Structures are given as structure tokens and as C-alpha cells.
Structure 1
Amino acid sequence: MGELLVRYEESGIDERILRAVEEMGFVHMTPIQEKAIPVFLEGRDVIGQAQTGTGKTAAFGIPMLQKIDEEDRSLQGMILCPTRELAMQAAQQLRQFAKYMHNIRVLAVYGGQDINRQIKALKGGVQIIVGTPGRVMDHMRRHTIRLDNLKMVVLDEADEMLNMGFREDMEAILGQIPCEHQTALFSATMPEPILQITDQFQTDAEMVKVVKKELTVERIRQYLYYIRRSDKEAAAARLIEYYNLKRGLIFCNTKSMVDELAENLKNRGIAAEGLHGDLSQAQRDTVMNRFRSGNLQMLIATDVAARGIDVNDVDGVINYDVPQDIEYYVHRIGRTGRAGKEGMSFTLASRRESFRIREIERVCKTKLEEKQLPSGEEVRQHKEASVLQKIREVMEEANTADCYRAVERFEKETGISAIELAAAFLYEQVGGEPEEIVEEPKVVRRDGERRFGDRRRDGSGSRNGGRFGDRDQRGGRFNDRDQRNGGRFGEKNGSYRSERDGRQRRFGNDSRRSDRRQAENGGRRRTSGEGSYRAAGSGFKGEKR
């Protein structure tokens, strides 16, 4: 038996809001709306755990609109968001819900826009503001935003605001509200600092929790490639080409990497653009419009800038950098494989990040399949097969008689055969074989040794640049008979006993002993080769450290 869905008209919502919601094409509430709206209408504080795209803006936006006194032009509702994109998006949705509430004004306030323009709008009377914490604080310092009549405040994407360093701003804003009001906090995760904020600023809050089903990764094929950092760009380009990604997302951890990768992929002939917080709003809108319309092949973004992006038909997601926050992994790859379709994700990592991969698998309850990057030969064959398939389709669907005669004339005039001409055409479409990309080798343990590529650490405790122990080299061969550091190895002009052959050796002719140095080093000398220690002047023999 299917789940019984609650209709908006059954929830006690204002008829004007219902009319607007109906025009937007919504009939049934989402789970978060079904659980949260009645609690809001009762006047209680709310803690909501829900992901982006679950309909949470309506869950708090509709009750906020319903509580507004339309005759009062003062500020009565405030929503804090981590980014200007989310602030603008939430403000626009509230305006849609309030379409037939003609006396309600909603204003988005955020950095990057002329503050004087916002001040002028605020002076005209605004009942609801949706803003970023930093810009709201600016207005509060200027006394252009007053919280005296506030009825409801909502912290949306609270964990993201916390990650961006807005905790002090959030606490300052909440702490300066003088009147009795409702406080709601929505967050995808509930780390300890979030819970501390709820304890401090909420009273008897109701917990509402909904997990977005679309964020499961069951229909997403997840691949892992261990690639050297210097080869990641070439690896990303190869994956785009081999898997024929028409529209994809690439995630980087920094703004500078977004810009660098976007520029380099464009130089490789891939239609790519970056999206991050340093772009102007006009630039962001242009990039997103191109991506949504299909005119942009790859959108490269940071995790914060990508919040609020909801685009279907994303062929694949490339994690160019392993996410700094493990839970971001699910948010990233959840942008592909939507609407019942299968998706693909590709994670590029170094061997040193393997522990992060294991942690992602554990926390996200998923498994990444380690694969080898397609070879240059495989890429060439794949492209050849794709071009030849297109030619077959043309032959089946189009009348190629004129082209056939043109090829015949070319053969007679040049002496070049049709098969040679076809091969040249194929080469022009496919190009030569791509360069090989060397993947990072696996770590293999055997015989008590740890090998990593051409480096190893063995029982001697030595490392780097090849094999060396009691007879191997590090910048030159040395052992108990060889020299190091100007010909002196061990104590200066002192003696030591080799555990391997038991013979006593002396270096130099100076009769001075190294007792003082031995005392400073704990009275121990390290022998060559065996990895044990003998205490000078005693019979102590300890285990290798």
C-alpha cells in the first residue's frame, strides 16, 4: 500500500498561499513540509534536519508568510543563508508563495550588491529579509535593520554557515533579538556546534528529520583512480572524453583550482567554466544559464558555490579533489543519477589519501570501485568506434550519392584510394593516440619490507632513493666500513663494536674520546645493519626502535 500524501489544502494554510502553490503545480506536501508546517503554525521552535532539494524552503517560508501582519511595515521575518545564491533563491520562492498577498514585501540582502540600494529598499518597508550573516550584520551596525518586531528567524543550511566561519555572526544576530519570537534551524548535518546553538537560542524545540531519498547512491557507479597530482588534469580530460560526458560537474576544494582547471580544460577544447564565490552575480547567472541550457559541457565548482544547484541530466561527477568534509561526497555525487537514471562518479586521489577514501566508504556506507585509467590506445579505439558508428547512421539515413561521386573524382585526380581517404578522415576526427598517464602504484608488502614504487624501507630503517641498509646507499654507499659526512661515521675519533663481525675499528689518529657525545645521546650507539643498539660502557642491548 502506498504512502498517504497530505494535500496542501488540508493543512490550514492561508487560501491566498494555497492559490499560489496550486499555480506552481504543487498538490501534495513533501515529508519535511508535512512534519514541519504544523509545528510552525503552533508557534513552536523547530530543528529540521533535511538536505537541499527536500522542499524545506516552503516548510518554513509558508508559515512565516502566514504569521506576517500585512498592515505592519516593520521587519517581522528573517532567514539567514550561507551564500547569496541561496538567499536569492529562497527570497524568490517566498515571493512566489506570496503572489496574492499584495502587501507583503520580501528583500534579499547579501554581499556583492550595493548596500545603498538595499538601504533604500529597507526604508520603504520590508516585512521579510533573506540574507547572508555578514551583510545582515552590516545593516544591523548601520541600524538599517531593526529586530524589535521580529516574529520568526530561520537559520537555513546552518552547518554550511558554520563551515564558512559565520558562527559568531549567527550568535550575535540571534543574541540581539529583544522580543519573543520563533527560532528555526535547518541543517543537513547536526555537528556539536549546531546543537550548542540550538541549546542556547531555542526553547523546547521540536526535532523534524527527513532524509532526501534522491541522495542515495545505489544507482550511481562510483569509480576511484589513484593519480599523481601533476596528472589529474589530463586524467579528468581523458575521463570526459572516454565516457563522452555531455554535461558534467567537477568539484575542487579551492577557488584557485576551479579557475586553473577551467582555463586548462578550455585549452584542451572542452567547454568548461568555473563557479565560486569570487564571481559577480552577473557572471554566476551567465555560467548557470549556459549549464542549464546545455551550452556548457563541464561546470567546475567548489562545494559552497554548488549549493542550491539543481540540474537534472548530469551525466557524471568528477571529484577532482577528495572532499574536505566527508559528507560532501554524497552531496556531490547525488547530483547525477537522478529521475531514475543511472549516473557515474569519478574520484581522483593520491595514495596518501587512501585513508580518506576508506573513511568516505565507512561514513557514507558505500564502495568505490578502484579502476585503471583508460589507456591511450583504449581512448583512441573508443573514439574511432564512436566516429564509425556516426558514419553508419549517416549512411543509413542520408543520400550520399553526390559525396560518392566526389570521392570517385578525388581518386582519379590524385591517385589516392578511397580507403586512404577514409583513413585520413578518421585520423582528422580522432587524432593521434593520447599521451600515457602513469598512475600511482600500489603499496605491496612482502618479506617484512614496505615497497612504494621504487622506494622501500627495510629492516635497516633506511629510506629513500632505492635499497640501502648495512650495504646499500643513500647518496653514496656506506656501512660499518664506509664513510659518511667527510669520512667520519659514528662517534668522532671513537671506537665501536660491530655486531656483525665482532671486530673493533678505530677512525682517525686523534686520541680524544667521544664520551661526552655519547652521554648527550643517552649513552647509546647505533650499530650498522642490524638495527639494534649497544650502550657505551655497558652490556645493554635494546630492541630496534
Structure 2
Amino acid sequence: MDIFKILSRSTKQPNKASAGKAGSSVKLPSAGTSNNPQLFHDEATAARGKKRKRGGEKTAGNLQNGENEAEEEAPNFFAPKSTAVNTRRRESSVDEKEHNSNAPQVASQLPPTLLDEGECRQILRSHRVKVTVLPPGEKKIKKSKKAKTSKTTSSAKEEYKQLYPQPLTTFDDLRSTYGISGRMAENLAQQGYKIPTEVQMGSLPLLLQPETALGDAAMELGLSESRRNINLLSVAPTGSGKTLAFLIPVVNGIIQRRRQHQDKSEHSLDAIIVAPTKELASQIVNEAKKLSMGTGVKVVGMKKGMNIVDGGDSAENAESSNDSEEEEAEEGLEKSKKRSSQPIAKADILVTTPGLLLSAVSGASKGGRSPLPTVRTLVLDEADVLLDPLFRDQMLGIWDSCSNPELCVTLWSATMGSNIETLAASTIRSRRTQLGLKDDTRIIRLVVGLKDSAIPNITHRLTYAATEPGKLLALRQLLHPSAKTTDATQSLRPPFLVFTQTIPRAVALHSELLYDIPIEAGGSSRIAVLHSDLSDSIRDHIMTRFRNGEIWILITTDILSRGVDFRGINGVVNYDVPNSGAAYIHRVGRTGRAGRDGGVAVTFYTKEDIPYVKNIANIIAASEKQAGKPPSEASMQKWLLDALPTPTKEEKKNLKKYGVEARREGLGRDGKDRGKKAMLISSKSGYERRLEHNRKGAIQGSRNRMQQSQVEADPGEESEWAGIDD
């Protein structure tokens, strides 16, 4: 009898017959690439009051559902020649147009084919993309009386004007309709980008050519004079392609401006991309280099000791909670002497963490911060963290240094609270006022799906483990599936991530599971731990091994919970309950990337975690409802949601700052030692585990010697590792 199945009755158990069939044909995120990276494929209803003309244009909404164009509408061979030629031109790719000598001349004379407002609305709604214009001023709604509340709420909603811009149907339209660089279009084709995701569908036309995407609405927003004067706030699920959505407009804008300069070898800082962690910044650098290959655009990832402004000082002693190390004062004085002799790094795109860039800008001028007048684009990836109190002062300092009046700011994240939206809007308006500019800018917000929700294409499991030893036992059951386990969701197949609350707990869990993988499967080399106390070289080495498949189980903290793309992750284990609902959304978003199905997210909770579980349970319920699961098959039943206690605002605030009280390390909030150690992750002493490991190694070595002694040894067929038999 599995005690964890009894304690987790919210999960509906399938019968044996259906479980056996499902287990044999299970799909895993690591099995291969997804044919359609889009998350939502709602059926698009026909446009009201309009009849489809025979031989006319295809219904764009049907094309967005991931179906083949040939299956949607057969070519009309009896149509006039002009219609047939135009249809073939629209269906031909960019490469065919470039190789055909007559096609470029004809295509240059023809205007781009655009959809009317009804078709745009139909496509955007079928993919759950909502584009609105934020109100020009801040409006506070008082909730003193019920009658006044309804009136003020309705009046406030009227200010959020909804827009229906031109959606991006295929990546080929980037070249034909929005005129991106031909070399960059080739790079996109070589990397296999064909169908845009929801966030790319809505954001790329707005950032590349807002006057084309918005049509008449662009005149109302004052976007006719400047094509780049648009500030976008995008909220899209994890793994939906936000990185590519903000890199394409940045690289294309630099290419277009470089064509006007005679000296092609000159590089000036044009765009800054800020990320909260070093791992995410390194990933963005790699993607930007792939995209800008052969275009002449130089992408640089900022490092310690790098100069980007005049003055000689560089980024040093960056204060970051996730990827910074405390250095002694003497080492800082010695390195400051070397900085003055280093040249200024030349780059078109600079990818950095907030602490590094702020130290470089502040150190270059003793009296204050050095301005960055050439920066035209500022991108905030994971903007809710960058504008959180943890990084807020650093980020606002960088924002103030960008003194270009044509600065375009874009903010991207999977979770974005209303307070972050208000702060971003007020900062943009106050900055224009300080520069003496007219405060006529409008901020466009793009939301994909349900705001602040987990992705719908993964399986969520909430498991009650009672105590800390119970969690360790439950994790070992995932590593050691029994022969009776036939349901694929009851076990995790490598590779997967394990998240803990603190660094000491991650190190302790790593040492506890170090000998759980057998020697014939790779042994202790298949499991590793990654946290911010490790050096940069060690962290890079672990990330490289994990991406190459050499590491199967990676134990980490929230340093890898945001933005890092692991497309082959089969699951995520929350060994400790996340500090907030946003942390849970980003943690489980490491699996199910780019529309891949089959990912599993397991969360263990104990008696101490019960007051904080309801927020996670609500997120799971919303995700399953968004995926279209009927209430009878949902894992989060209504009786469980009603039974869980609702945490207060003070409890949520303390949880976000300090984590669960029982698992905190060091001193308490009053500065005094709590007098008790945090809950240890251990079931045996290190000496006992070492003896058991040596005994297993001796037995296995004896078996190997017996097999080698045989003349005709049969190594057996290699099979997929399905766990460890006790």
C-alpha cells in the first residue's frame, strides 16, 4: 500500500486497464520537438455578417490553428489568372521570392496583404491574445460602499481600450510584410522557426511596424511620426517564446540603422537587455548570437571588469541575491587599478544583470551615474523580479541613465502584478517629464491566456508527505518506481529538476541522494547541485553537463526558476513549497516548453506547509480549467480547495521574504538565534550511507568479474532506465 496515494486523494487514480495503455504510449517532453509550439488552439468562429467568397483569401483564423494550408483550402484552378498568381505569391516563401528574378519587382509594387479588423479579432481571440492600451493616468478605486464600487470600477474599465492589431500568421510574413533583414530571415529559417507562438503573434507586428499593425488606431495613439515610440508590457506563459519576441525587433532595428552609416565596423551601444540571473543572461546572449549571425550586429554579455562608458571604472561587486559573491575590500582596490587600463567594450546589444551594469555606470563618474545617450531600447526580461524591492533600486538607476528621448521600453514576464504595471507606467511618464518631453506616450499591454497562471500542458500533482522524512521517502519513490507502477504520471523519468528553499537544504539533499543512482547507470555523476555560492566556472560547467544529458537530476534553488530554457525536462519536483504563487508558476514552467506535452510537476508539502498550500492549489485548478479538463477529472477537487486554510496578507508577505519558518536558516527576524536547527534532510548518517554504498559496489564488482570470466558473455539488450529495484 502506497501511503502517499492515500494522503493525496485529490488526484484521480485511473483504472488498471487504462493506465497500462497510457503507460505504453506516454509522451515525454524529451521525446522530440513539438510540431506546433502554440499553447491555445480554440476553434475560431466565422465572422458575423460576412460570407466567404469563392476563390477569395483564406480564413486566417483557421490557419492559426496549426493546420496545413493545403488542407484548409484547395487551389482554385478555375479562377482568373490574376487571382491565381496573387494566391501563389502569398503562399510562396521568402526564399522562393529572392531566387526568382521577376518576383521581387512585382512584390515591391504590391502592398502587403492585411486582414480587416473582424479577422484580426477572430484570430486573436482564438489564441487568447488580448491587447489593451493602459489608461494615461493612475486611477485609484475606493471600495467604501458597494454602489460606488460598481460605478468606479466600470468607469475605470472604460479607460482600458482594447486593440486588435495585425497578427503574425507565419514567420515568412516578417520578411514580406514587415521588411526584416533577409539575413536574419535566413537565420530564423535555419533554426526551424515556422509557426509563431501567441506572444510572438501579437508582439512582433507591434514592435516592428506599429503603424502597419494598428492601422487607424496608430493615429489615435500618436505613433505615425515615430515607428519605435511604443512601450510594451507583455505577460505570456513560460516557454512561449518571449526571448525571440523581443530579440527580433532589437536586432532588426540595429541592422536598419547600421545601413545608414558608412563605417560598418563601428559599434555603439544601442540596446540593453537586463535579466535577473547570470544563467538567464548567458542564455539570451546565445540566442541573440544565433539570430544576428552574419548581420554585423555585435552581442556582448557583460562580465566583471568590463568598461562600457568613459571613465575607466567597470562593473564590480554587483549586489544580486542569486548570482553575486562578496569580495574583500583589498581585492577590490587591487582590481580597480587594473580597470583604468582596460578599453571600452564595443557592442550593439549588451546583456547584463542589474548589479553589474549599475556598478559600471555608477563607477564611471564619481559625482553620480554616467548617462547612456545612445541606448534606444531597454528590455526587462522577468520584469516583475527586476522591479521588485530586491532589484528595484538598481533597475531604476539603470533606467534613469538611459537619457535618449526616443527610448523604447519593453517589459516581459509570465507573472505581472498590478503594482508592477503601475510602477512601470509611472516611471515611463515621470522620465519623459524630467527630459522636458510631452507626456503623450501610451503603454500597450499584451496578455496571453489567463494572467498569472501556469501553463496548461503539464500534469500537476500536490502530494502530502506529513514530515521532512516523508518528503525524502516520497522523492525516493519517484527515483525507485515499483513494478506495479503503470501510470506514467506516478513516476518521473530523467532528466528533471528538484527545487529547495535554501542553499544548505539543496546541498544536504544532494549528499543524501548521491548514492541512489546505481553504478551501471552512471552513479553519483548523474546527480548535481547548483546554487549561487558556487563559482561562475563551476555553474557554467554544471549547466553544460545538464544540457548535454550527462546530469539526470539537478538539485537547485530559485536561481534556475526563471527564464532558463530546458526543452528536454520531463518534470519538476518542488521539494519545498515555493515562497509565492509566482514562484510556483515559474518553477513548473521549466517543463512543457514550446508546447511540449507530458511534463509532470510534483509538489511535496508537510504539516508546516498547510497554511500556504491554498494559493498553489488555486493555480493548479485554474491551469486544469484552462486546459479544458472536466471537473470530474481535475486533480484539485472543490472539497480540497474549501478545506485548505486561506493565508492572510501578513503570512503571504512573510513567506515571500523568509520562506517557511521551520526551514529557515541562521538568525530569525529579530536578529537572535532561534535556538533550533532547521529541519535536516537525512534519514541515515553519512557513515551508514558510505558503508551501504561500499557494500553495493562490492557486490556489483563481484558480479562483473563473474560475467567477464565467462567465454561467451551476453551483455543483454540495452534498455531505458526505469528505476532501481530494491
Distance 2:713 2:241 in 1: 56
Distance 1:97 1:46 in 2: 21
Shift of 1:244: 6.3
Distance 2:563 2:422 in 1: 26
Name the SS of the counterpart of 2:560 in structure 1: coil
2:283 is matched with which residue? 89
Written as runs of structure 1 = structure 2, the 5 A alignment for 1:244-283 is: 245-269=493-517, 271-283=526-538
1:17 aligns with 2:184: yes
Q: Which amino acid aligns with 2:300?
A: L
User: 157, 170, 182: which is aligned to 2:395?
Assistant: 170
Shift of 1:59: 1.8
2:202 is matched with which residue? 35
1:227 aligns with 2:227: no
Written as runs of structure 1 = structure 2, the 5 A alignment for 1:126-141 is: 126-141=347-362
1:446 is matched with which residue? none
Per-residue Cα deviation, 1:177-209 (whole angstroms, up to 9, x for no partner) = 222111111122222441233222333111122
Per-residue Cα deviation, 1:110-166 (whole angstroms, up to 9, x for no partner) = 459986899988614222211111000011013397511211111111112245711
1:205 aligns with 2:461: no
CA contact (8 A) 1:39 1:206 kept: no
Q: Given the two structures, how large is their TM-score scaled by the length of structure 2?
A: 0.47
Shift of 1:321: 0.3
Tell me: CA distance 1:169–1:22, structure 2 relative to 1, closer, same or farther (3 Å): same
Name the SS of the counterpart of 2:379 in structure 1: strand
Name the SS of the counterpart of 2:272 in structure 1: strand
1:61 is matched with which residue? 247
Question: Which one scores higher on RCO, CA 8 angstroms, separation ≥ 6?
Answer: 2
Distance 1:139 1:206 in 2: 31
Q: Which has the larger radius of gyration?
A: 1
CA contact (8 A) 1:224 1:368 kept: no
Please say which of residues 355-364 and 309-318 is displaced more in the overlay: 309-318
Distance 1:196 1:87 in 2: 26
1:48 aligns with 2:48: no
The Cα RMSD (Å) is 3.3
2:546 is matched with which residue? 291
1:195 is matched with which residue? 421
Shift of 1:3: 1.4
Q: Report the structure, 1 or 2, having the larger helix content.
A: 2
CA contact (8 A) 2:466 2:605 kept: yes
Per-residue Cα deviation, 1:319-378 (whole angstroms, up to 9, x for no partner) = 1101111133233334446665434333221123223222211234254599xxxxxxxx
1:361 aligns with 2:528: no
1:105 is matched with which residue? 298
Shift of 1:211: 4.2
Per-residue Cα deviation, 1:78-122 (whole angstroms, up to 9, x for no partner) = 1111111111111222222221222x2221114599868999886
Tell me: CA distance 1:118–1:191, structure 2 relative to 1, closer, same or farther (3 Å): farther
Q: Which amino acid aligns with 1:6?
A: T
CA contact (8 A) 2:457 2:597 kept: no
Written as runs of structure 1 = structure 2, the 5 A alignment for 1:306-455 is: 306-336=561-591, 341-364=597-620, 365=622, 367=635, 430-431=725-726
Shift of 1:316: 3.3
CA contact (8 A) 2:299 2:347 kept: yes
Per-residue Cα deviation, 1:247-298 (whole angstroms, up to 9, x for no partner) = 2221112122112211221044463211222222322232223323333231
Q: Which amino acid aligns with 2:475?
A: A
Distance 1:121 1:35 in 2: 43
Shift of 1:313: 4.4
Distance 2:507 2:412 in 1: 31
1:123 aligns with 2:349: no
Distance 1:165 1:359 in 2: 22
Name the SS of the counterpart of 1:123 in structure 2: coil
1:153 is matched with which residue? 378
CA contact (8 A) 2:234 2:411 kept: yes
Tell me: CA distance 1:97–1:329, structure 2 relative to 1, closer, same or farther (3 Å): same
Name the SS of the counterpart of 2:475 in structure 1: helix
Shift of 1:218: 5.4
Per-residue Cα deviation, 1:483-510 (whole angstroms, up to 9, x for no partner) = xxxxxxxxxxxxxxxxxxxxxxxxxxxx
1:3 aligns with 2:241: no
CA contact (8 A) 1:249 1:299 kept: yes
CA contact (8 A) 1:74 1:127 kept: yes
Distance 1:403 1:18 in 2: 55
Per-residue Cα deviation, 1:355-403 (whole angstroms, up to 9, x for no partner) = 3222211234254599xxxxxxxxxxxxxxxxxxxxxxxxxxxxx9978
Q: Which amino acid aligns with 1:256?
A: P
CA contact (8 A) 2:301 2:351 kept: yes
CA contact (8 A) 1:106 1:127 kept: yes
**Uncovered stretches (5+) of structure 1, i.e. residues with no partner:** 371-399, 405-428, 432-545
**Uncovered stretches (5+) of structure 2, i.e. residues with no partner:** 1-61, 66-168, 209-226, 307-314, 317-334, 429-440, 482-490, 518-523, 625-634, 641-709, 715-723
CA contact (8 A) 1:217 1:334 kept: no
CA contact (8 A) 1:183 1:201 kept: no
CA contact (8 A) 1:48 1:187 kept: yes
Q: Report the structure, 1 or 2, having the larger strand content.
A: 1
